[in-house]
Amino acid sequence: MDAIALLKADHKTVEALFRRFELAGRNAKKLKRSLVNRMVRELAIHAAIEEQVFYPAVRAKAEKLVDPILEALEEHHVVKWLLNELEGLAPDAERFEAKVKVLIENVRTHVAEEEKELFPQVRKAFTPAELREMAEMLTLAKRTAPTRPHPRAPDTPPSNLVAGAVSAVLDMGKDAVQSARHKVEGFTSRRAKSSGKRRGGKRAAQRPQGNGMTPTPGAEPHYVM
């Protein structure tokens, strides 16, 4: 596999998540939230490896591709802000669907530009062996890439390499906390269900679940981690 095939495979993975989101029913809130979590992760990693390896290599090799690369960096920047806001937005927030829609539109436009305009020129500027070698570097970069968006962080070398490494460590911590929280929530809701069944009767079933802090309709959108 060469660098372009690797990046196109990433694009396909993200497009599959977009399609699943678009086909999910209006009330499939939990599914949509988990699809957005995966979009955040996949796009954060993909943007990071392009910024750390692919774009700098293209800039260094082909002078005429500097402007398209600068435009691509700006497009990444906008997408990272959207991802950053979506990261903590509850799926029943008023702007959740609209924000995901704008994210999808932005990413599709960016991907189309890369695949139809940038990649064909990159293929001409590099040898097949160079593109295969770049794929190896992209694969290595994936292992240490940040898993969350950092729109304020530098996006060009050498600063992005240092900032990316620090962000990746912080993201790992946040990912671990998020995963532990999901496990605890799953455990608590399973326990609540089974104790409800044991008690039986309507009173147990009608008792409010959770911590009683469910937002009231019309309240400010609440955020989840």
The closest alpha carbon to 156, from 73, 42, 68, belongs to 73
User: Which one of 30-38, 91-99, 110-118, 130-138 is the stretch in contact with Fe ion (CB under 5 A)?
Assistant: 110-118
Sequence-distant contacts of 22-25: CB under 8 A, at least 24 apart: 22/104
Quote the tokens at residue 122: 């990159």
User: Which one of 77-85, 95-103, 111-119, 180-188 is the stretch in contact with Fe ion (CB under 5 A)?
Assistant: 111-119
Counting residues that bind Fe ion (by CB under 5 A) gives 2
For the bound state, the minimum distance from the C-beta of residue 24 to Fe ion, rounded and expressed in Å, comes to: 24
149, 84 in Cβ contact below 8 A? Answer: yes
Burial class (CB within 10 angstroms; exposed 0-12, middle 13-18, buried 19+) of 220: exposed
For the bound state, the minimum distance from the C-beta of residue 85 to Fe ion, rounded and expressed in Å, comes to: 19
For the bound state, the minimum distance from the C-beta of residue 175 to Fe ion, rounded and expressed in Å, comes to: 22
Prior bond of 146 cis (ω within 30°): no
Q: Indicate the residue among 92 and 115 with the shorter CB distance to Fe ion.
A: 115
Burial 40-76 (b: 16+ CB within 10 A, else e): bbbbbbbbbbbbbbbbbbbbeebeebeebbeebeebb
Residue nearest to Fe ion (CB): 50
According to CB under 5 A, which one of 2, 4, 50, 51 is a site residue for Fe ion? 50
For the bound state, the minimum distance from the C-beta of residue 21 to Fe ion, rounded and expressed in Å, comes to: 19
For the bound state, the minimum distance from the C-beta of residue 187 to Fe ion, rounded and expressed in Å, comes to: 38
Quote the tokens at residue 198: 């044991």
Q: Say whether residue 51 binds Fe ion (CB under 5 A).
A: no
For the bound state, the minimum distance from the C-beta of residue 8 to Fe ion, rounded and expressed in Å, comes to: 8
Q: How far is 213 from 28, CA to CA, in rounded Å? A: 22
Q: Indicate the residue among 87 and 114 with the shorter CB distance to Fe ion.
A: 114
Scanning residues 52 to 71, which ones bind Fe ion (CB under 5 A)?
A: none
SS3 of residue 218 by DSSP: coil
Q: Indicate the residue among 33 and 77 with the shorter CB distance to Fe ion.
A: 77
Q: Indicate the residue among 32 and 76 with the shorter CB distance to Fe ion.
A: 76
Residues forming contacts to Fe ion in the complex (CB under 5 A) are 50, 114
